[in-house]
Structure 1
Amino acid sequence: MFPFLADAVGCLFGLRNGKLACAGRDQMRLRRRMLMKKLVILTAVASVLCAGTASAQYEGETGCVMFEHANFRGRAIEMGSNDSVSFRGGQFWNDRVSSVIVRRGCTFVAYEHSRMRGESIELNRRVRDFGGSGWNDRISSAECYCDDRY
């Protein structure tokens, strides 16, 4: 029986073998309990499957990648969510970044001086070539962080 209408007397109407049938109050209560149990089980399963996915979505994954040359070429340095790097003068990566990939849901913040100081630029997308932007071979420190929206 597939219920589709309940009357004021407490009779649940539905179709059985193509004919209109009525289920009594006890049958209605039993069906409601079964439906509620199914709903509770479904909710519990969905909770278990989705638990922790939002906050740990980027954990252990690369959020941002800096490249030595334009067009994502040359040596690369990967950054996970909530990673930061700071290059001192004389270190290879100091003032060498020419392109960057930023994963969806992540933000890349680059600074002109080490220890996150000086002028900065914030990006939510990839940049194929920093040339012409004033940031080519100028980055001395950077941060990558990813939010939990995706």
Structure 2
Amino acid sequence: MKKSISIVSSAVVLACSLIPAGVFAAPQHHQKKNSCVTLYEHINFKGRSIRFCSNDSTLVNNNWNDLASSAKVSGGEGVVLYEHINYKGAKWTLKPGKYANFTKKMLSKNRSWNDVVSSLRIR
């Protein structure tokens, strides 16, 4: 009887050792990486630059109101640029990527997004 219990116990231990360790591990929650945007003063990523990784309701406070002419967006879902402070006016959603010339994106019939951005939201 002891011999058969010993054989069964050995078989159970052997079977458990063949199960990958990850099966018993606690689930991992991957945090979504937030976006960041770097705004540039001039087209083609020239001039002064500033990086944002969180919302900014008014670019006036850091002297960037109506100055952006190009941008690079990294990670996450992108960024939403707004024409006015406090997320008002027209908006433009930028997905991760490079935007070399805001003059090519029209805000209205005769006005581009160049030197227009006044607030932004990170997605």
Structure 1: gaps (5+ residues):
1-23, 146-150
Deviations 1:55-102 (A, max 9, x none): 2644xxx7111111111111111111x4324134x9731111000111
Distance 1:41 1:107, change over 3 A: closer
Distance 1:102 1:43, change over 3 A: farther
Larger relative contact order (CA 8 Å, sep ≥ 6): 2
CA contact (8 A) 2:33 2:75 kept: no
Aligned match for 1:29, one of 3, 7, 12: 12
Structure 2: gaps (5+ residues):
1-6, 106-111
TM-score calculated relative to the size of structure 1:
0.60
Pair member with larger Rg:
1
The CA distance in 2 between the partners of 1:122 and 1:41, in whole Å, is 39
Q: Which has the higher helix share?
A: 2
- Residue of structure 1 equivalent to 2:99: 127
The CA distance in 2 between the partners of 1:25 and 1:108, in whole Å, is 60
Q: Which has the higher strand share?
A: 1
Count of residue pairs brought into register by the alignment = 110
- The SS at the match of 1:96 is coil
Percent of paired sites with the same residue = 25
- Residue of structure 2 equivalent to 1:142: 120
TM-score calculated relative to the size of structure 2:
0.71
